[in-house]
Amino acid sequence: MIAPRTRWGLVLLVVAVGVCAAFQIGKVPPALAELQGSLGISLVVGGWVISTYSAVGALCGVAMGALGDRLGYRRTVLFGLSCIGAGSLLGSAAPGPGWLLASRVLEGLGFILVVVSAPSLIFQLARPSDLGVAFGLWSCFMPVGTSAMMLASPALLSLFGWRGVWACNGVLLLAMAAAFHRATRGLPGRGALRAAAPGSLWSNVRAVVSFPGPVLLAGSWCMYTTTYMVLMGFLPTLLMADGRTRAAAAALTAAAVAVNAAGALGGGWLLKHGAPRWGLMVLSGAVSGLCMPVIYGSGTAPWLRYGLCVLFSAVGGLQPASVLGGAPLYAPSPTAVATTNGFVNQCSYLGMVLGPPAAAALASASGGWHNTPWILSSGAAVWISCALLLRSIRPRTEATARR
């Protein structure tokens, strides 16, 4: 169903939902030391508290997307918000690490439900000519939400402690669920809004994983998120090795993450004005492949290293605008849009889970970061190849696609 006009208020509400969901990723790293002291958790368990979202996504992305196509996108987003809010509230009362990890699993399931179904709502709330900008806005939810919470957490932790931060986030998510329910209840037949026919859940999964468009989008997205997580995850370590204080390294990393949102907005604007989707993907992949050897070079000046990290984040923002906006266009059918989003996101979470440990293991084995570009630049080659192959595939909804 093609929207006759763009419901910008509802589009922005969906983006706000994503931002609040992403707060739950940004709240953990600044609180990790306090969590260790309060619950007596080890650094390894703390790492699992951080990576639970990625692990849940890597295991359940396609299934959660298929569930969204079956139950309806609006209903799935509401259920996801409720799960995140309940998980955060339960986590605030955690007496030990097991309880906290279980609450993070519940949050992670809710997060996946939101991120695979929200783009499907946007696709049906925006008219074709506005899809580029609408998905550019949606692509900002992760960097904006994560970096905003990372920047706000030190002050919030000093005022409320980690339990207070978890409780406040739980209340916020449940309030957002109530606001979303109220604002979208007048959308009969839209984004309940296109659920798959009964019995088609697994056929949707089979169709998506065998369709070339979703596979190429997923491959390109996986390589991007792997690179992004390796670079931004270890950027504080690199900055401190270059002589920055811990506080300065955290602030500079948050700034580099935030710049990604500007790139996503720029990507949406370029798509609206006719830029080819595959071309933006190739450009972002090329910048990644060229920057990595210099960033991890042993003789690179600190200012140049950080500057190239910011450049990668900014130009890399073209990738989420292109891929997340392309998933509805390259889905095998109108009733498999959330399943396509789930498949694309599941592949990205696999990269998030496996990429940083692989890069860390290589750095440990070789005595430094100088071999890291072998992983990341090779990933950029796959990223670019997927984009070039996507050029030859006709989007399912040709009338609404800007290639």
Query: pLDDT tens for residues 68-83?
Result: 777 888 889 999 999 9
Token pair of 42, please?
């080890």
- Cβ atoms of 185 and 78 closer than 8 Å: no
Give the helix/strand (H/E) hosting 128: none
Contact 264, 136 (CB under 8 A): yes
Q: Please report how many Cα atoms fall inside a 13 Å half-sphere around the Cα of residue 88, on the Cβ side.
A: 29
Q: What angle, 0 to 180 degrees and rounded to 10, lies between the N-to-C axes of helices 302-316 and 318-330? A: 20
Residues ≥6 apart with Cβ < 8 Å to 144:
19, 22, 258, 261
210 contacts: CB under 8 Å, gap ≥ 6:
none
Is the model's pLDDT at 317 over the cut of 60? Answer: yes
Find out whether 176 and 88 touch, Cβ atoms under 8 Å: no
Residue 161 CB neighbours (<10 A) = 15
Q: Is the pLDDT of residue 113 over 60?
A: yes
Please name the amino acid found at residue 266: G
The per-residue pLDDT for 178 is 95
Q: What percent of the chain shows pLDDT beyond 90?
A: 31
- The answer to whether 167 and 301 are in contact (CB under 8 A) is no
Nearest to 38 by CA among 125, 182, 157: 157
Does the pLDDT of residue 196 top 60, yes or no?
Answer: no
Please say whether the beta carbons of 281 and 390 come within 8 A. Answer: yes
Residue 395, pLDDT above cutoff 90:
no
First to last CA, the chain: 20
Going by pLDDT thresholds of 50, 70 and 90, the confidence category of residue 305 is very high
Grade residue 190 by pLDDT with cuts at 50, 70 and 90.
very low
Model pLDDT, residue 31: 80
Angle of helix 318-330 relative to helix 97-125, nearest 10 degrees?
70
Q: Is the pLDDT of residue 279 over 90?
A: yes
Closest CA to 69 of 200, 177, 181: 200
Q: Model-level pTM?
A: 0.78
The per-residue pLDDT for range 43-71, each reduced to its tens digit, is 667 767 777 777 888 888 787 887 877 78
Distances (CA, A) of 344 to 26, 95, 364, 374: 22, 36, 31, 24
Can you give the pLDDT at residue 397? 56
Higher pLDDT, 125 or 394: 125
Q: CB-based contacts of 114: which residues, under 8 Å, 6+ apart? A: 17, 18, 21, 76, 77, 80, 81, 84
Buried b (16+ CB within 10 A) or exposed e, 4-26: eebbeebbebbbbbbbbbbbbbb
Residue 136 contacts residue 99 (beta carbons within 8 Å) = no
Confidence of residue 285 (pLDDT cuts 50, 70, 90): very high
Average pLDDT over the chain reads 84
Phi, psi (rounded to 5 degrees) for 289: -60, -35
| pLDDT in the model for residue 403 | 39
**Residue 398: other Cβ atoms inside 10 A:** 9
Mean pLDDT of 267-285: 90
Q: Report pLDDT digits (tens) over 347-380.
A: 888 887 778 778 877 877 888 788 888 888 899 9
Q: What is the pLDDT of residue 201?
A: 63
User: Contact, 63 vs 113, CB < 8 A?
Assistant: no
Q: Give the model confidence (pLDDT) of 223-261 as tens digits.
A: 998 898 888 877 877 888 888 886 788 788 888 888 888
Note whether 345 and 64 are within 8 A (CB).
no
- As a whole number of angstroms, the distance between CA 157 and CA 151 comes to 11
Confidence class for position 163, pLDDT limits 50, 70, 90: very high
On the question of pLDDT at 199 being above 50, the answer is no
- The rounded distance, in Å, linking the Cα atoms of 143 and 145 is 6
